[in-house]
């Protein structure tokens, strides 16, 4: 253990081993999501207390198959395990394996033991193995690995207390495995590995072998180290792939007997539940049909279930605003508080129900194992668009928010497929576009139903989503043509057995996503609301005073009553304010799309986040009223082009504006994430321009067609 540092416990294991459930058990809500140094792979960590004043940090590492990785996430794990100076280098490994898949899951464990880590081997899901009629005997395995083996079931809490106990004991001792080496290196491997560790001044021979395989991307090596290892590897005929395959096969051969002694297999002839479900769910025709039914259900859920809590939140904020307005003394900051801050907060929180429902349903699809079936079914279609079956997961999540979607693209190993997925994900209509659509559709589409049951406005909603999907697919084709391809592309994915979801996992996922949305997006929206309030309340020089005196003059000229006077004053002041000047400055550029300077203001503020549109409109259309969508809509509908009797929000303008919001990348958070994921500003800027041009041209065409 490093001096002065609390011990680090790493949770390692293959994907689908129940590792994250165990992590949730050990840490509960005391989790912290940060990043591994230099990369954006989520690092989930939590603290556990050992005694009164001692704690240990537990890190949930990404699921890994072996020390020969295929994805960015797996590479992080290897980078950590081969570098004792790494901040996350573990002092103890809890290795989690699925008892029903012991043979495969044992491979990585033997490699970690060869790297010299103290380990507790957790054989999880023994309940499922025993249900299959298998008997488990841990003694042969304990003898073979030379580490403590514990059978558990996180699902029903079996023997988790024993794990707690073993964990505390091991952290006191930090005992190295009894058996030092499981895999004996061949002569050639020993030759290369020993020279590498000698040049680096370390001692583990197996670490030397891994460095010989991965010297090109292991992050702690210096350029000099790389040249040295590269040279050594070429000179000694160290065949990268052959030696990886050879080692893997020899490990399997070596422990095959132990696995059979540990778990007795009873061959079952009958079809498992998973087989029966998949006969329908991945069926040639029924599979895709089932998929679309699920998608339809998800959208219904977002629209219908979320509306009640959303209405409550909106009303709550309106009431709070009215209450504060009435009871606070009228000074400058009450206006800021009610119309700036409170309106902004309401704008954030109103999305929470929708986001929670969407993430809940997507987490259910992932937890149950359905998502990998989607990957299987749609891989070939996605390939036609230059993507991977795994892109489906990203595109579906984009319906909630492009940010987690873009992050989920990490599981795609091919750089071009991953980049295309990242670039087109924001074109899928996310939940932030919903309020904008909701307000604008009101202008274009009459209320009513078709065939008695289907809501017409609902159809238009669906049309806008389809437009987004179409845009995403066509853009993917475009990027497929122009981007260079490198690296191999593969599908190879496990289709895990269907399991009832562990509710704790689902709820923790939803909790984490919702809180991060509120904090991340909330910060942006609140800041924007404040800036907007300032820009709309003040103007250059004495412009604001002039506006007020002009309103006074007009009041007497036109014989206006008090209410009309207030309205007039507010709109004159907005026009004279800083934001009014900005909108006017933008007007010539957006006039061909049918937009006036007020929409221009909304466009400017929407570049921070789309959902600001409604709030901006609320602010502009006479500051002071609550941000209830209906009243904004009424005010907007009454808006007339100056000098004419034409309505501003006629069908053509509203449609044009809708199409603009479908395509434009108006989300700072997305750009920041794309920058982090692609590690340069090049791609977010290209994406921003590409989507901007797409939005402008489409809106132009739509306006010209309908006006």
Partner 1 sequence: MKIITYFLSQIFLKSTIFISLQFKFSLNNLLKDHRTLATLAPGASALVSTLDENTYTCKLLNLGLLPKAKVTMVRKSPFGGAFYIKLEGHQLAMREEEAATIIIEDNI
Which positions ≥6 away from 595 have C-beta within 8 Å? 587, 603, 653, 656, 657
User: Long-range contacts for 455-462 (Cβ within 8 Å, ≥24 apart)?
Assistant: 458/303, 461/303, 461/437, 462/299
Q: Does 100 bind partner 1 (CB under 8 A)?
A: yes
Residue 68 or 437: the one with the smaller Cβ distance to partner 1 is: 68
Binding part of the chain for partner 1, among 244-252, 324-332, 585-593, 681-689 by CB under 8 A, reads 244-252
How many Cβ atoms from other residues are within 10 Å of residue 643's Cβ?
6
Interaction between residue 463 and partner 1 (CB under 8 A) = no
Q: In the bound complex, what is the minimum distance in angstroms from residue 286's beta carbon to partner 1?
A: 9
Among 42, 86, 104, 364, binds partner 1 (CB under 8 A): 104
Q: Which of 364, 495, 668, 672 binds partner 1 (CB under 8 A)?
A: 495
- What is the 8-class DSSP label of residue 481? H
> In the complex, what is the shortest distance from the CB of residue 379 to partner 1, in angstroms, rounded to a whole number?
5
Indicate the residue among 494 and 679 with the shorter CB distance to partner 1: 494
Cβ-contact 179, 121 below 8 angstroms: no
Residue choice 285, 452, 453, 644 for contact with partner 1 (CB under 8 A): 285
**Nearest approach, Cβ of residue 40 and partner 1 (Å):** 23
Instruction: Between 302 and 375, name the residue whose CB sits nearer to partner 1.
Output: 375
Least distance (Å) between residue 647 CB and partner 1? 47
Contacts 24+ apart (CB under 8 A), 645-649: 648/596, 648/598, 649/443
Q: What does the angle CA 547 – CA 550 – CA 553 come to, to the nearest 5 degrees?
A: 155
- Residue 462's contacts (CB-CB under 8 Å, 6 or more residues apart) are 299
Our CB check for partner 1 shows the closer of 241 and 453 to be 241
Give one DSSP letter per residue of 10-65, joined into a string.
Answer: EEEE-TTSSHHHHHHHHHTT-EEEEE-TTS--EEEEEEEEEETTEEEEEEEPPP-S
Of these, 26, 377, 400, 405, which contacts partner 1 (CB under 8 A)?
A: 377
Give 185's DSSP letter: P
Q: By C-beta, is 245 or 689 nearer to partner 1?
A: 245
Q: Which one among 50, 86, 101, 683 touches partner 1, defined by CB under 8 A?
A: 101
Radius of gyration for the chain, computed over Cα atoms and rounded to the nearest angstrom: 30
Could you tell me which stretch among 102-110, 178-186, 305-313, 502-510 binds partner 1 (CB under 8 A)? 102-110
Residue 93 three-state SS? strand
* Interface with partner 1, residue 217, by CB under 8 A: no
Strand 54-60 versus strand 42-51 pairing type: antiparallel
Residue 307 CA to residue 350 CA, distance in Å, equals 10
Q: Taking the CA of residue 412 as centre, how many other CA atoms within 13 Å lie in the half-sphere pointing to its CB?
A: 31
Distance from C-alpha of 59 to C-alpha of 567, rounded to nearest angstrom: 58
Q: Tell the smallest beta-carbon distance from residue 216 to partner 1 (Å).
A: 14
**33: phi then psi, degrees, rounded to nearest 5:** -105, 120
Q: Between 56 and 374, name the residue whose CB sits nearer to partner 1.
A: 374
Q: How far is it, in rounded angstroms, from Cα 112 to Cα 117?
A: 6
Number of residues lying near partner 1 (CB under 8 A): 47
Nearer to partner 1, 483 or 493 (CB): 493
Nearer to partner 1, 213 or 610 (CB): 213
Least distance CB 262 / partner 1 (angstroms): 14
Q: Which residues lie below 8 Å from residue 536, measured CB to CB, with a gap of 6+? A: 574, 577, 578, 579, 580, 619, 620, 623
CB 83 within 8 A of CB 89: yes
Residues in the chain: 707
Does 278 participate in binding partner 1 (rule CB under 8 A)?
yes
Which among 576, 583, 621 is positioned nearest to 599, based on CA atoms? 583
Between 134 and 569, CB nearer to partner 1: 134
Helix (H/G/I), strand (E/B), else coil: 449? strand
Question: Can you tell me whether residue 97 is helix, strand or coil?
Answer: strand
Q: From residue 577 to residue 606, what is the string marking binding to partner 1 with x (rule CB under 8 A)?
A: ------------------------------
Determine the interface stretch with partner 1 among 27-35, 245-253, 357-365, 649-657 (rule: CB under 8 A). Answer: 245-253
Q: Does 386 bind partner 1 (CB under 8 A)?
A: no
User: Residues 464 to 493: which contact partner 1 by CB under 8 A?
Assistant: 488, 490-493
CA distance 13 to 106: 9
Using CB under 8 A, which of the segments 66-74, 393-401, 545-553, 617-625 binds partner 1? 66-74
Stretch that binds partner 1, among 60-68, 556-564, 577-585, 698-706 (CB under 8 A): 60-68
Burial of 458 (0-12, 13-18, 19+ CB in 10 A): middle
Select from 41, 78, 81, 375 the one that contacts partner 1 (CB under 8 A).
375
Residue (378 or 533) nearer to partner 1, CB: 378
Question: What are the beta bridge partners of residue 33?
Answer: 44
Least distance between partner 1 and beta carbon 282 (Å)? 6
For partner 1, which residue of 61, 215, 378, 437 counts as binding (CB under 8 A)?
A: 378
CB of 292 vs partner 1, minimal distance in Å: 12
Q: How far is the CB of 247 from partner 1 (least distance, A)?
A: 9
Rounded Cα distance between 316 and 597, Å, is: 31
Does the protein bind partner 1 through residue 65 (CB under 8 A)? yes
Residue 494 as a binder of partner 1 (CB under 8 A): the answer is: yes
Looking at beta carbons only, is 84 or 133 nearer to partner 1? Answer: 133
Residue with Cβ nearer partner 1 (374 or 612): 374
Distance CA 73, CA 407 (A): 11
Q: Is 379 among the residues that bind partner 1 (CB under 8 A)?
A: yes
Give residues 496-515 in contact with partner 1 (rule: CB under 8 A): 496-497
Q: How far is the CB of 241 from partner 1 (least distance, A)?
A: 6
- CA-to-CA distance for 68 and 211, rounded, in angstroms? 11
Residue 255 binding partner 1, by CB under 8 A: no
Q: In the complex with partner 1, which residue's Cβ is closer, 281 or 604? A: 281
> Rule CB under 8 A: which residues touch partner 1?
14, 65-66, 68, 70, 100-101, 103-104, 107, 241-242, 244-245, 248-249, 252, 265, 267, 274-275, 278, 282-285, 287-288, 372, 375-381, 383, 389, 488, 490-497
């Amino acid at each position: 253990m490093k001096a002065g540092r609390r011990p680090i416990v790493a949770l390692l294991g293959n994907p689908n081993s129940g590792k994250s459930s165990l992590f949730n058990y050990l840490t509960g809500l005391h989790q912290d999501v940060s990043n591994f140094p230099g990369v954006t792979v989520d690092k989930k960590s939590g603290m556990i207390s050992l005694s009164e004043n001692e704690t240990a940090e537990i890190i949930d590492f990404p699921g890994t198959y072996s020390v020969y990785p295929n994805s960015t996430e797996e590479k992080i794990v290897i980078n950590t395990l081969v570098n004792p100076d790494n901040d996350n280098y573990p002092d103890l490994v809890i290795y989690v394996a699925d008892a029903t898949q012991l043979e495969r899951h044992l491979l990585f464990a033997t490699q970690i033991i060869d790297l010299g880590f103290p380990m507790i081997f957790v054989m999880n899901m023994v309940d499922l193995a025993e249900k299959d009629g298998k008997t488990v005997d841990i003694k042969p395995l304990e003898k073979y690995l030379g580490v403590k083996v514990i059978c558990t079931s996180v699902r029903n809490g079996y023997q988790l207390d024993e794990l707690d106990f073993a964990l505390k004991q091991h952290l006191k001792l930090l005992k190295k495995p009894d058996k030092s080496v499981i895999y004996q290196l061949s002569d050639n491997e020993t030759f290369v590995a020993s020279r590498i560790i000698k040049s680096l001044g370390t001692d583990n021979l197996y670490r030397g072998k891994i460095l010989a395989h991965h010297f090109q991307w292991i992050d702690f090596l210096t350029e000099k180290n790389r040249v040295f290892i590269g040279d050594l590897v070429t000179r000694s005929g160290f065949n990268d792939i052959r030696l990886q395959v050879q080692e893997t096969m020899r490990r399997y051969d070596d422990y095959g007997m132990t696995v059979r002694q540990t778990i007795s297999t009873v061959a079952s002839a009958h079809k498992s539940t998973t087989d029966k479900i998949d006969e329908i769910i991945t069926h040639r025709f029924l599979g895709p049909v089932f998929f679309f039914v699920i998608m339809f259900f998800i959208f219904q859920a977002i629209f219908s279930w979320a509306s009640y809590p959303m209405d409550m939140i909106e009303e709550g904020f309106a009431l709070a605003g009215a209450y504060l307005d009435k009871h606070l003394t009228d000074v400058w900051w009450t206006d800021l508080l009610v119309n700036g801050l409170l309106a902004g907060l309401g704008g954030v929180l109103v999305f929470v129900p929708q986001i929670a429902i969407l993430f809940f349903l997507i987490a259910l699809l992932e937890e149950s194992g359905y998502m990998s079936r989607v990957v299987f079914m749609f891989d070939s279609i996605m390939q036609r668009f230059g993507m991977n079956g795994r892109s489906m997961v990203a595109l579906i999540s984009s319906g909630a928010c492009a940010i987690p979607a873009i992050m989920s693209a990490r599981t795609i190993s091919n750089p071009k497929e991953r980049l295309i997925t990242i670039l087109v994900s924001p074109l899928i209509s996310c939940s932030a576009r919903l309020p904008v659509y909701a307000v604008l559709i009101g202008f274009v589409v009459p209320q009513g139903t078709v065939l008695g049951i289907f809501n017409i406005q609902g159809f238009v909603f669906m049309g806008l989503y389809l437009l987004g999907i179409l845009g995403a697919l066509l853009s993917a084709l475009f990027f497929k043509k122009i981007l260079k391809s490198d690296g191999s592309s593969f599908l190879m994915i496990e289709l895990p057995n269907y399991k009832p979801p562990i509710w704790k996992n689902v709820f923790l996922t939803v909790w984490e996503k919702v809180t991060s949305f509120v904090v991340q997006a909330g910060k942006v929206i609140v800041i924007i609301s404040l800036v907007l309030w300032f820009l709309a309340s003040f103007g250059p020089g004495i412009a604001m005073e002039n506006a007020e005196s002009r309103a006074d003059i007009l009041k007497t000229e036109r014989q206006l009553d008090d209410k009309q006077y207030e309205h007039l004053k507010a709109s004159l002041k907005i026009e004279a304010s800083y934001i009014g000047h900005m909108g006017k400055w933008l007007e010539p550029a957006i006039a061909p799309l049918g937009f006036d300077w007020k929409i221009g203001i909304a466009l400017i503020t929407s570049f921070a986040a789309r959902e600001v549109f409604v709030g901006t409109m609320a602010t502009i259309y006479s500051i002071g009223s609550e941000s209830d969508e209906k009243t904004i809509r009424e005010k907007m509908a009454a808006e007339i082009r100056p000098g004419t009797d034409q309505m501003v929000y006629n069908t053509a303008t509203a449609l044009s504006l809708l199409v603009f919001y479908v395509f434009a990348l108006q989300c700072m958070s997305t750009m920041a994430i794309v920058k982090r994921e692609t590690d340069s500003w090049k791609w977010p800027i290209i994406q921003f321009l590409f989507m901007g041009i797409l939005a402008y041209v489409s809106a132009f065409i739509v306006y010209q067609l309908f006006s």
